[in-house]
Structure 1
Amino acid sequence: MKFYGALILFTTLSAACGLRCYTCTAADPRSCIDTKSCPVIFNRCFSLRVDGYNMVTKGCQSSIACVGAVTCCEGDLCNSAMPTGPSVFLLLVSSAILVVFL
């Protein structure tokens, strides 16, 4: 039972601690697996593909800098190559586990 309580606590804290984005500079966007908690001043995740160099850069960004070739999105880990579910879904699942096992 303590394990489930700890799981729910960590899931809730991770959702409450701010935006998380994938961060990398790589040739293949699917190779971006590192994540980072963004500082408070950044409210978007971004992806930037540099044409001619076959490179992509991902990280945290402010909404005012989301212009031109910079593609921005809102939500945790939204700048991945593959779609990910929102953290609200994780909170609902952890709450369901709590109800079932307690």
Structure 2
Amino acid sequence: MKTCGVLVLFMTLSTACALRCYTCTATDPKSCTDTKSCPVIFNRCFSLKVDGYDMVTKGCQTSIACVGAVSCCEGDLCNGAFPTGPSVLLLLLVSSAIIALFL
């Protein structure tokens, strides 16, 4: 039974560690609803709006490339137009507490 709990915790940790960002190229930033799990090398989410064009691009980025017109942020889905739900850390703590109580 303990092995099952450890396996569930490991799976929660592996999915919780991947950064998630909104990804799109659109004319309306609020219409960007697609999300993506970023590859390990990317540690920021970004938004780019070029002056003179009615387009916004959002996606995953490294901190080194966060210069100039590229607006970067840290945390899951931080580059969205709407506030996000509870943090991954809170979800991880709650799932760990549930596993500890019932196993």
TM-score, normalization by structure 2: 0.75
> How does 1:3-82 map onto structure 2 within 5 Å?
11-16=12-17, 18-82=18-82
Deviation of the 1:79 alpha carbon: 0.7
Q: Which has the larger radius of gyration?
A: 2
Deviation of the 1:42 alpha carbon: 1.0
- For residues 40 and 11 of structure 1, what CA distance do their matches in structure 2 show? 17
CA RMSD of aligned residues (A): 2.3
Deviation of the 1:30 alpha carbon: 1.4
Moved more, 85-94 or 32-41: 85-94
Structure 1 portions without partners, runs of 5+: none
Instruction: Work out the number of aligned pairs and report it.
Output: 97
Deviations 1:12-31 (A, max 9, x none): 44203x21111000111111
Identity %: 73
Is contact 1:11–1:90 with CA below 8 Å preserved after alignment? no
- For residues 30 and 101 of structure 1, what CA distance do their matches in structure 2 show? 41
Change (3 A) 1:77 1:93: same
TM-score, normalization by structure 1: 0.76
Deviation of the 1:89 alpha carbon: 2.1
Q: Indicate the residue corresponding to 1:91 in structure 2.
A: 92
Is contact 1:26–1:56 with CA below 8 Å preserved after alignment? yes
Change (3 A) 1:32 1:39: same
